[in-house]
Every structure is written in structure tokens, then in C-alpha cells.
Amino acid sequence: MSASQWTAEFRQQLALGGISVEPIAVAAGFSERAELWQIDSQQWQAFAELAMQQHLRWSAGWAEQFGEQFFVNALFEKQGDFILLRSLVNPLKPELPSQATVYPAANRSERHTQDMFGIKFIGHPDHRPWTRHKAWDKHEYPLRKDFPASGNPQGVTPPDLDYQFIKSHGAGTYEIPVGPVHAGIIEPGHFRFQAVGELILNLEERLGYVHKGIEKIAEGRTPESLARLAGRVSGDTTVGHAWAACMAMEQAAGIAVPPRAALIRGILAERERVANHLGDIGAICNDVAFVFGQMQFTRLRENWLRTNALVFGHRLLMDCVVPGGVKADLSEASGHLIKQDIVQLRKELTDVITALDLNTSLEDRLYTAGFLADEIAAGYGTVGYVGRASGQNFDVRRDAAYSPYDRVTMRVALENQGDIASRFWVRHKEIKAALRLIEQFIDLLAPGDLIADWQMPAPGSEGLGIVEGWRGETVAYLRFEADNKISRYYPRDPSILNWPALEKLVLNNIVPDFPVCNKSVNGSYSGNDL
């Protein structure tokens, strides 16, 4: 079934159910992969119910103040086509029925919108704040336009002691609070375990500790400055977030990225994927005390990052993706160097992976542990390698291909056991696929521009960037105001969808296996907290 077919049919079904949506024309690039539909706020939840029946996936949710009004947005996907649903809420009584009752994936996102805008989601199953701790008052809403970016902070922000964690009852159960400062070199967050003996009965995540006000401080930025900020939403995904943000800005401005620049972006993104997967595989080995694997993979990662520094001038590739194109070119010599590197990495991977595969101490810890059932992964809209290790066959690069991925055919790595081993092997397959992609992109390089001339976007123009970052589907929404300035930026890191899956996959595992379960998911705290 082609794209327009299912969306047209879906609209008919909605109409039969008494739900009317009104398609709105938006910037040309925007509508290529997404349709924008407006709906009455009263029907917000009813839409979600029908969308669920038709197997649409809930992907992202955010709000925006536009003049005196509020827009609430939710992004849905099916077969690689996106519907951006929008509703206007009454600024005097900003509320609408919750979609979290239908889609659990919308739960924390709606709480974030409630904290940041003061928009109430009626019937929401969880009334606790999410992003707000104590840095601002309950009745202040940082993303409203009349809230100053500086806020009204106290001398010292007190800890959030009011948060109502779930309590355990019954003989022999006890609680373990962990964090926000953890034992390792890792981002801060709080985990509350309820356990009996060593068995985890329940895990509750409390995040928001690294909330830095990214959405607010994006306001008023120029395109270049926004790209820099986007590259720091989550330091390990600097290419992914910068690319999504630049894609959105380019749509709003109506400019096309030159083919050479798109290929170099593809090379950068795949290099980021390989670097992170090498690091994660090493870290998974470390968490089960298999030092050989950790040392080998951190060594391979270091080699890879050194080539990044040599070729692109930055080990983590920060600020390489810029609005309209890329900052640095790839010389023929560099292309050659990268290819040689790849040959070497393939050989070493074969050596090391063969050694790991036959190792029982790894097998004992990784197989069957941290099991995430396909239905739960689907229910939470889990994306990226976590989703693909539990049978979720979706990858933006293939299913909603963007340049340069539309020029190659790629196989999406899949596993279906849903355990830590599956997430380990999906990463391994993705490294191999990424290496092939890099080679293909280098072969496709033809002389050409690295950057398109920037056109100042009309005030009010908006863009939606969707890319497959190394963690999975990465979304950026933004709108321009006058003078080339950003009025709204919302980045949706894949971690926002994957964190809830961790709460489920640790159940019935033992507390000492939590670190390796967590590492197998490796959610971003910074990308979640914004």
C-alpha cells in the first residue's frame, strides 16, 4: 500500500468515527515525508484510539506557544510515513484529553509538556511532574514566552524531596535508592529499586537531573548557533542531533543540501554509529567483568576516533554538520585512509568476535538476561537497536529514506530474542552494515559544493527533521520567527522512547545484573532531560 493510500484510508476511518482532521499545507520539504493534520482538541484522545487500532506508532510529542495560543503536537508513524497531528488549545484554559491513556510512550512526554507549558492532559495516568524538580516554581512554566530564560533561581536549588516514588509493601521487600551521582563515570539520574532478596520486583526511573533548559536557550538563536546547540543535546549523538536540526532548518528555508554534502553527512553519521557501538560492546563486556573484550573494543574505538580527528578535525565529530551542508571536505587521500581503516577493523572484529562468541563466561551473563518481549517493545514504541533486538523492524534510513540513504540499498540488522545478547549482536551487525555504507558513500562522492547558500526563512516557517541516529529515530522540530531567528526547537532523542523499556526489561533479573542491563540499552540522560 502506498503512503498516500493508507493516510487517505485512515482519514476516512476517522471520519466514520466522527473525528474530523484538516490537512494543512506546510513548507515543501516538510510534507515529503510527513502530513500535517489539525484536529479539535476535544478529539485528541479519540484520534489516538483509532490510530492505535490502525497500528500507528506514537513517535514524539511537544507543544509550542504561538502568539497568544498554544499548539500541541503529536507525531505518528506507519510504514515510514509520518502524520504530525496538531491541536490548538484555549490559552485561558489550556487542557486537552491525554493520549498517554492509549499510548504509554506519550506518558513522560505529556508530563514534560505539562511542566514546561502548564498544559494539562486530562485523564493522564500519572500526575507527578517529570522534568521539573525544584529549579522553578510549580506555577511557573519555562517555555511560555513571558518566562525569562534567566528565571528566578534561588541561591541553592534544593533537592526534590516531594517526588512520590512507588512504595513497596510486604514482608522481605526492601528498596534500593541509587543516584543521582552513580559509582562510575556516567551521567546522573536516580533509580529506585524494589527488591526481594536479589530479585528486582520493580524499578522506577527518576530523570531530569541534567535538564539544562536547551529548548528555552534555543529561542532567538541563528541557524549556525542552533546547530552548535543541537550538537550538544547528547554528546554521543552530536552528528545525529545536528543533522536532524539542520534538516528541519533546511526545510523551513526551502533549500536542498548538495549531494556531496549529503554523502559526507552520511559518512559522519555512520562513523558516529560505529564509534558508539564499539564503545558499548566494550562496556557490556566490562559490566560482566570480561576485561579482554573491554580492552579490545576500547582500543578499536580509540583507533576509530583518531581517524575522526585526522580527517574531520574532531574526535567526536562535533560541529561538522552545519546548516546547508557540512563544514569539512573529504579529500581523496582521506577517503582512502578511511577505507584502509575499515579493512583493518573488519579483520580485527572477526578475530575478537570469534573469541567472544566461544566464551562461556560471556554467554552465561548475556543470554536470557534483560529480556524485553516484542509486545512490550511495540507497546512502548521502542526504537533503534533496543527495538530491533526485540523484533521492531523499523529504521528511518530504509523506511523513510533521506539523502544520501535513498541512493543505496541497506539491510536493517534485526534480532528477536530480546535479551542482552540480542542487543549485543544487533550492534555488531550494525557496525558491519555501517562499514559497508561508508564505503558506498565514499565511492559515490563526486565533485561538488559542500554547502548550499542560505536563504532566510519566512517568519513562521517550520521544519521537521527525522534521521536514524546511532540510538535510533531522532527527531527535531523547529520554527523560525523574523530575522533568521529560531522561535521554537524541540529535539526528541530516541532515549525518550527507550528509557521506559529499561524499567520493564530488568524485572525478574537480579540487582547485580542491573548495570549490564542498563548498558545494553544505554539511554542518554542529557538527551532525555534537555
Partner 1 sequence: MLRIFNKIFATGIVTESVKPPKDDELEQLGIAIKRHIDSKFAGSIAIREVDAGSCNGCELEIHALNNPYYDIERFGIHFVASPRHADVLLVTGPVSRHMQTALLRTYEATPNPKWVIAVGDCAACGGEFGVSYASCGAVSNVIPVDAVIAGCPPTPLALMKGLLGLIGH
Task: Using CB under 6 A, list all residues that contact ligand SF4.
Answer: 232, 235
274 touches 303 (CB < 8 A): no
> How would you classify the pairing of strands 325-326 and 95-97?
unpaired
Q: Which residue has the cell 468515527?
A: 17
Grid cell digits, residue 120: 494539562
Q: Which stretch binds partner 1 (CB under 8 A): 321-329, 354-362, 406-414, 510-518?
A: 354-362
Mark the segment that binds partner 1 (CB under 8 A) among 129-137, 389-397, 445-453, 503-511.
129-137
Q: How far is the CB of 193 from partner 1 (least distance, A)?
A: 18
Residues 511, 174: contact at Cβ < 8 Å?
A: no
User: How many Cα atoms are found within 13 Å in the side-chain-facing hemisphere of 180?
Assistant: 15
CB of 149 to ligand SF4, least distance (A): 18
Distance in angstroms between the alpha carbons of the first and the last residue of the chain: 37
Q: Is the dihedral of CA 136, 141, 146, 149 positive or negative?
A: positive
Stretch of residues binding partner 1 (CB under 8 A), selected from 55-63, 103-111, 194-202, 298-306: 298-306
How far apart CA 317 and CA 269 sit, in angstroms, is 9
525 binds, among partner 1, ligand SF4, none (CB under 5 to 8 A by kind): partner 1
- Pick between residue 217 and residue 373 the one whose CB is nearest to partner 1: 217
Per CB under 8 A, 176 contacts partner 1: no
Binding status of residue 151 toward partner 1 by CB under 8 A: yes
Cβ-closest position to ligand SF4: 232
| Residue 228 binds: one of partner 1, ligand SF4, none (C-beta under 5 to 8 A by kind) | partner 1
Looking at 99-107, 265-273, 299-307, 467-475, which segment touches partner 1 (CB under 8 A)? 299-307
Nearer to ligand SF4, 171 or 185 (CB): 185
Nearest-angstrom CA–CA distance, 106 and 205: 16
List, in sequence order, every residue forming a beta bridge with 490; answer none if it has no partner: 477
Q: Which option in ligand SF4, partner 1, none does residue 214 bind, with CB closer than 5 to 8 A by kind?
A: partner 1
Out of 99, 109, 194, 238, name the contact with partner 1 by CB under 8 A: 238
* CB 76, CB 82: distance < 8 Å: yes
For the chain, what's the residue count?
530
Identity (one letter) of the amino acid at 38? Answer: Q
Backbone angles phi, psi at 344, to 5 degrees: -65, -45
Size of the site for partner 1 (CB under 8 A): 65
Task: Report the C-alpha gap between 300 and 282 in whole angstroms.
Answer: 9
State the residue for C-alpha cell 530479585. Answer: 199
Partner from partner 1, ligand SF4, none binding residue 186, C-beta < 5-8 Å depending on class: partner 1
Q: CA-to-CA distance for 368 and 425, rounded, in angstroms?
A: 13
Query: Does residue 487 touch partner 1 according to CB under 8 A?
Result: no
Confirm or reject binding of residue 105 to partner 1 (CB under 8 A): no
Binding flag, residue 228, partner 1 (CB under 8 A) = yes
130 binds partner 1 (CB under 8 A): no
In the complex, what is the shortest distance from the CB of residue 315 to ligand SF4, in angstroms, rounded to a whole number? 11
CB 484 within 8 A of CB 268: no
Contact call for residue 313 and partner 1 (CB under 8 A): no
Q: Which is nearer to partner 1, 67 or 148 (CB)?
A: 148
Of 23, 125, 153, 313, which lies in the binding site for partner 1, with binding defined by CB under 8 A? 153
Any contact of residue 232 with partner 1 (CB under 8 A)? yes
Residues forming beta bridges with residue 476, ordered by sequence position: 465, 491
For residue 519, give every residue at least 6 positions away whose Cβ sits within 8 Å of its Cβ, in sequence order, or none: 280, 283, 284, 287
Q: What is the 3-state secondary structure (H, E, C) of 6-57?
A: HHHHHHHHHHHCCCCEEEECCCHHHHHHEEEEEECHHHHHHHHHHHHHCCCE
Phi, psi of 500 (to 5 degrees): -60, -30
Name the residue nearer to partner 1 (CB basis): 132 or 397.
132
Kindly tell me which of 255 and 285 has the beta carbon lying closer to partner 1: 285
CB of 287 or CB of 319, closer to ligand SF4:
319
Report residue 176: phi and psi, to 5°: -125, 110
**158 is a contact residue toward partner 1 (CB under 8 A):** yes
- Residue 416 contacts which entry, ligand SF4, partner 1, none (Cβ below 5-8 A, type-dependent): none
Check: CB of residue 433 under 8 Å from CB of residue 462.
no
Report, in Å, the least distance between residue 232 CB and ligand SF4. 4
Which span sits near partner 1 by CB under 8 A: 12-20, 28-36, 154-162, 245-253?
154-162
Asked if 156 is part of the footprint of partner 1 (rule: CB under 8 A), the reply reads yes
* Among ligand SF4, partner 1, none, partner that 208 touches (CB below 5 to 8 angstroms by kind): partner 1
With beta carbons less than 8 A apart as the criterion, state whether 35 and 83 touch.
yes
Evaluate whether 476 touches 248 at the Cβ level (below 8 Å): yes
**Half-sphere exposure for 311 (CA within 13 Å, toward CB):** 24
Three-state DSSP state, 315: coil
**The three three-digit cell numbers of residue 329, written as one number:** 571536505
Q: For residues 212 and 346, which CB has a smaller minimum distance to ligand SF4 in the complex?
A: 212
* Location of C-alpha cell 522553578: 136
Q: Is 502 in the site for partner 1 (CB under 8 A)?
A: no
| Closer residue to partner 1, CB minimum distance, 268 or 305 | 305
State yes or no: residue 191 binds partner 1 (CB under 8 A).
no
The answer to the question of residue 144 lying near partner 1 (CB under 8 A) is no
- Nearer to ligand SF4 among residue 59 and residue 524 (C-beta): 524
At closest approach, how far in Å is the CB of 301 from ligand SF4? 17
Best CA proximity match to 447, nearest among 263, 295, 248: 263
DSSP per-residue string spanning 488-502: EEEEE-THHHHHHHH
Q: What is the CB-side half-sphere exposure of residue 128 using CA atoms within 13 A?
A: 16
Question: Where does this chain bind partner 1 (CB under 8 A)?
Answer: 133-136, 142, 147-153, 156-160, 180-181, 183-188, 208-214, 216-217, 228-229, 232-236, 238, 279, 292, 295-296, 298-299, 301-302, 305, 309, 315-316, 318, 351-352, 354-355, 358-359, 524-526, 529
